[in-house]
Structure 1
Amino acid sequence: MTGALTDAGWRPGRDAGDAAMLAVLVMATVGAEPFPAAERALREFHGLTVLPVASGGQQVAAIGGVVDPREARHDVPHLNRLADSLGVRLFPFGRTDTDAPLAVDEHGRLLMLGPGGPWLLGETAHDGLTALAHGLAPARLRPPRHHHALPGQAHDLGAAVRAALVAIYVLHGTGVFSARAVHLRATTLRGVGIVAVDEEFPLRPGALEANAEPLVEAMTARIEGTGARPGSCALTLTVSAPPGTEGPSSTVTCDVTVGCGTEPPALMLSAAPSATSGPTAKALEACAAAFARWVATPV
């Protein structure tokens, strides 16, 4: 399905060369940070004016657009703020016939800033432009969120630690990342609520389950060292990506909360909107399914 692109002058191996790189340099002067995926996409498609197919669109209205990052130069501040919220770098790519800016992310995906926020047009610039011209429905980028209520006592630090270790096991097994620590935030429940502990506890080498007792002991000692008790605090244990993790996986976090007022203990899996699609999204769905099975029949 490349008719709209070939009609616009695209062909395999096309290289807009200096014209594309000049446009990239111009955008760099107004605050857009170039990266390899954006440069490759612009070298291939810069200068094309893609027209919508005559049939009107397969799933949604077909629209065209022009590939020139300078067409989105006034949107750079908004794109930079959006990049921070998505957890992925963005670079202007062009503009649609409906005046919506286009951007390519650091993984080469094509996004459109349309009604209701950012939309993913395709996993590549080629796929995204084709989808736009042929009227294939885009995917709205929403932050993935999964919530699982945990059985057990409201202030059970041991149960929270076990849930966090399960999260580490599942995140590793589904290929999201291999965590090497658990972060504890303990907030006192009396008065205005003071953060008694905000600290990372590294895992010990060896079997994962062997960390349960040492972690509970270390966390209990740290909380009691502040004059508080685990049972008198709201506890959040966070498993997040280790340093060096890249891409959408780096935005994934898993929180285990206990003792939070009237809220029951819970395990929550979340990520930035950049993890809405692709391999990370599939891995997160696998994580959520594994958590649901474990919560239903905890070992």
Structure 2
Amino acid sequence: MTQHHRVAERIGWTAGRNVEQDAVRAALRIAAIAGSYGISLSFFPAARSFLSEFYGLDHQPMEPGREVASIGFTIDPEKARFQLVRLNRLSAGLRIALFPVGVTENDSVLAVGEEGQLLSFGLGGSWHVGDSALEGIENLICGLAPRRLRESEHAWHLKSTAAGSPVVGAVQAALTAVYVLHHHGVYSARSVCLTVTSLRGIGAVIAQRSIGIPHGPLGEALSPIVRDVEEVLAANADGAGCEVKLAVEVPGVHAETAAGLVGFSARFGHVAMQADDLEVSLRVGAGAQTGGIHVRVVDALRGLQQMS
């Protein structure tokens, strides 16, 4: 038996533990309470599996944690009944289904996601505790640091001289992102969104256009997209005094990533003294910091950063 299993045994867990009957009753009661608030709780398989294995267990810390303080907790979904509205808002914000499974000693709610990951949320924010039920329980007991769930943006600069012109560089970067994001299963895109924003005054958007990516090899799409971008800029003083941004934000059917959860963009013109300076960025929503999408986004980001 591994140390991973022995840690969970400290709170009464054993391999094969099954209290499904009691767990289901508790889940149905909390679902009924949620219904009284107008909230529909889906008791999906991962939540049923978690509660069947861990329902009724609790932990009282007896020693310091390895990385952060060991946290006491109780696995009982009804303990989270006063946080159901907040849980519902978090689920909508992360764009993943959640089911409450318990609370911690500092009044944070423990919830399971559809992929079986264990999350927590409270006054200290929202956190990914573990990729699986057993891993999450162990991390809480041992005091291993969770991963914070919050939007992040990774930005870096490309040398415009390598591309010849900022327009060509931006389109090349966007098409590279289309390939990388598709390759890593984050999402497929068949269009890019061009936005031209004035740098004067309140920064009004003076032009916005969706440009389709022609079917066929991505390399052959470069010239027609560059031509479309240049036509828009020519109609708006060649983009002088403006920020020009190409965004790849249109998920397709290749992956199940929610629209807007992850987005790539390339922009130039935003730096007055270096108008041709090309900046690219990958925005990662809080919901992409957990589950299988997190691993795919990390791999995609590594591939994208090779452009610099």
TM-score range, shorter chain: 0.7 to 0.9
CA-CA distance at 1:127 after TM superposition: 2.5
TM-score with structure 2 setting the length: 0.81
**Structure 1, 262-271 or 54-63: larger mean CA deviation:** 54-63
Residue matched to 1:24:
31
Instruction: State the identity %.
Output: 30
Against the structure 1 CA distance between its residues 248 and 121, is the aligned structure 2 distance closer, same or farther, given a 3 Å change threshold?
Answer: farther
Q: Is the 8 A contact 1:69 1:94 kept in 2?
A: yes
SS in 1 for 2:214: coil
Residue matched to 1:270:
283
CA distance in 2 between partners of 1:193 and 1:232 (Å): 10
Alignment of 1:80-95 (within 5 A): 80-95=88-103
Per-residue deviation, residues 160-188 of structure 1 (Å, max 9, x unmatched): 11111111122222332222111111123
Letter in 1 for 2:160: G
Alignment of 1:98-117 (within 5 A): 98-114=106-122, 116-117=124-125
Letter in 2 for 1:163: A
Q: Is the 8 A contact 1:95 1:101 kept in 2?
A: yes
Residue matched to 2:297:
284
1:182 equivalenced with 2:192 (yes/no): yes
Against the structure 1 CA distance between its residues 236 and 65, is the aligned structure 2 distance closer, same or farther, given a 3 Å change threshold?
Answer: same
Residue matched to 1:260:
270
**Structure 1, 165-174 or 241-250: larger mean CA deviation:** 241-250
TM-score with structure 1 setting the length: 0.83
Against the structure 1 CA distance between its residues 294 and 25, is the aligned structure 2 distance closer, same or farther, given a 3 Å change threshold?
Answer: same
CA-CA distance at 1:214 after TM superposition: 0.5
Against the structure 1 CA distance between its residues 41 and 205, is the aligned structure 2 distance closer, same or farther, given a 3 Å change threshold?
Answer: same
Residue matched to 2:9:
3
Q: Is the 8 A contact 2:47 2:114 kept in 1?
A: no
Q: Is the 8 A contact 1:155 1:230 kept in 2?
A: no
Q: Is the 8 A contact 1:20 1:46 kept in 2?
A: no
CA distance in 1 between partners of 2:237 and 2:36 (Å): 53
Computed over aligned residues only, the root mean square deviation of the Cα atoms, in angstroms, reads 3.1
Against the structure 1 CA distance between its residues 52 and 133, is the aligned structure 2 distance closer, same or farther, given a 3 Å change threshold?
Answer: farther
Question: Of residues 45, 56, 72 in structure 2, which corresponds to 1:48?
Answer: 56
Alignment of 1:148-167 (within 5 A): 148-152=156-160, 156-167=166-177
Against the structure 1 CA distance between its residues 28 and 228, is the aligned structure 2 distance closer, same or farther, given a 3 Å change threshold?
Answer: farther
CA-CA distance at 1:40 after TM superposition: 2.0
